[in-house]
Amino acid sequence: METEKETLSLAEATKYLLEECRMVLPGVQALFGFQLIAVFNSPFFDKLTHAEQRVHLLALAMVAIAVALIMSPASYHRQTNPLATSADFICLGGRLLLIAMVPLLLGIGLDFYLIARIVLGSCGFAAAEAIGLVLFFVLCWFALPRWGRKKRSL
Q: Tell me the mean pLDDT in the region 114-141.
A: 94
Q: Check whether 149 has a pLDDT greater than 90.
A: no
Burial of 69 (0-12, 13-18, 19+ CB in 10 A): buried
Q: Check whether 110 has a pLDDT greater than 90.
A: yes
User: Residue 145: what are its φ and ψ, rounded to 5°?
Assistant: -60, -40
DSSP the chain: ---PPPPPPHHHHHHHHHHHHHHHHHHHHHHHHHHHHHTTSHHHHHHS-HHHHHHHHHHHHHHHHHHHHHHHHHHHHHHH-TT---HHHHHHHHHHHHHHHHHHHHHHHHHHHHHHHHHH--HHHHHHHHHHHHHHHHIIIIIHHHHHHHHHH-
What pLDDT, in 10s, does the model give residues 5-33? 678 888 899 889 989 999 999 999 999 99
Contact 58, 110 (CB under 8 A): yes
Total-model pTM: 0.87
Q: Check whether 2 has a pLDDT greater than 70.
A: no
CA angle at 60 for the pair 22 and 116, rounded to the nearest 5° = 105
User: Residue 38: what are its φ and ψ, rounded to 5°?
Assistant: -55, -35
